[in-house]
Structure 1
Amino acid sequence: MSPAELTERVRTGVPLAGAWGVEVLEAAEGRALLRLPQRDDLLRPGGTVSGPALMGLADVAMWAALLTLTEGRDESLTASLSITFLRAPPPGAVLAEARVIKKGRTLSYGEVTLRAEGSADPCAHVTTSWAAVPRLSGRG
């Protein structure tokens, strides 16, 4: 899938990603780079990007990376997400670089590094696992 096709898939599958304006900048086999644009409504007191916004971006980024391995048909769900906040990102866009470390039949594992756009220093590191959901008959 192209980054534009993946952006559309992510925004359709997670409407909050569309509301926030999340876009896929790059996508390759088991990897994805996403951008969360600067939004005043995602800032917390003190002017930094909020933790919930960073966690949401990381979650969507990992799903995008999984979608690159499944031709856009991944229905797995987040089983765990652990985030370590390393530094407060300044107001502005945030990038999330996701990488699938292990894609299993029932459980997948990956990591996401978040950083302020224009900075090489990570603001957060995420590890996450995803559980495959059996396809139910009658589901679209």
Structure 2
Amino acid sequence: MPLQMNAEQLMAFFEEVFPQLDNAFEVLRLEEMELDMRMKIGEAHLRPGGTVSGPSMFTLADCIVYGAVLAMIGPKALSVTTNCSIDFMRKPEAGVDLIGKCKLLKLGRALAVGDVLIYSEGMDKPVARATLTYSIPPK
């Protein structure tokens, strides 16, 4: 299945339906069933102990799978998360952007499953791994 949205269309859609994200995301790579994104980390994303908060890492995982699904099926805003499992493996660097790498493992008519590795920019090993399932609205 070919891409239904390119990087520019995807980012414009995010800005339209999620203005609260305040342009915190940037598409780094978009290919069929794969999406890499940067999350710009600021003071609001930090927690005590000098690290990026878990909810911020969840936001990246959720947004990147959502973006990968929409890139494949088109701008269907009512696609929603139905399940998420996230493992926090290492301490991300405070104030360093996060890089998420998503692969869609399944893209069906009703459900999509994506796997995400999250890195602190510049680190070789992931700081978190997440698997998300999305419900796709009927046509």
Structure 2 counterpart of 1:31, one-letter code: E
Which of 96, 107, 113 aligns to 1:109? It is 113
Q: Following the alignment from structure 1 to structure 2, what is the Cα–Cα distance between the partners of residues 129 and 77? A: 9
| Post-superposition offset of 1:47 | 1.2
**Structure 2, gaps ≥5 residues long:** none
TM-score by length of 1: 0.87
Matched, 1:120 2:127: no
Matched, 1:88 2:88: no
Contact 1:20 / 1:36 at 8 angstroms: preserved in 2? no
Structure 2 counterpart of 1:120, one-letter code: D
Q: Following the alignment from structure 1 to structure 2, what is the Cα–Cα distance between the partners of residues 8 and 35? A: 16
- Describe how 1:38-49 pairs up with structure 2 within 5 A: 38-49=41-52
Contact 1:10 / 1:60 at 8 angstroms: preserved in 2? no
Matched, 1:16 2:12: no
- Describe how 1:3-82 pairs up with structure 2 within 5 A: 3-17=7-21, 19=22, 21-73=24-76, 75-82=78-85
Number of residues of Structure 1 aligned to a counterpart in Structure 2: 134
- Give the share of equivalent positions with the same residue, in percent: 31
Q: Which piece of structure 1 moves more, 108-117 or 68-77? A: 68-77
**Structure 1, gaps ≥5 residues long:** 136-140
| Post-superposition offset of 1:74 | 5.6
RMSD of equivalent CA atoms = 1.6
Structure 1 counterpart of 2:46, one-letter code: L
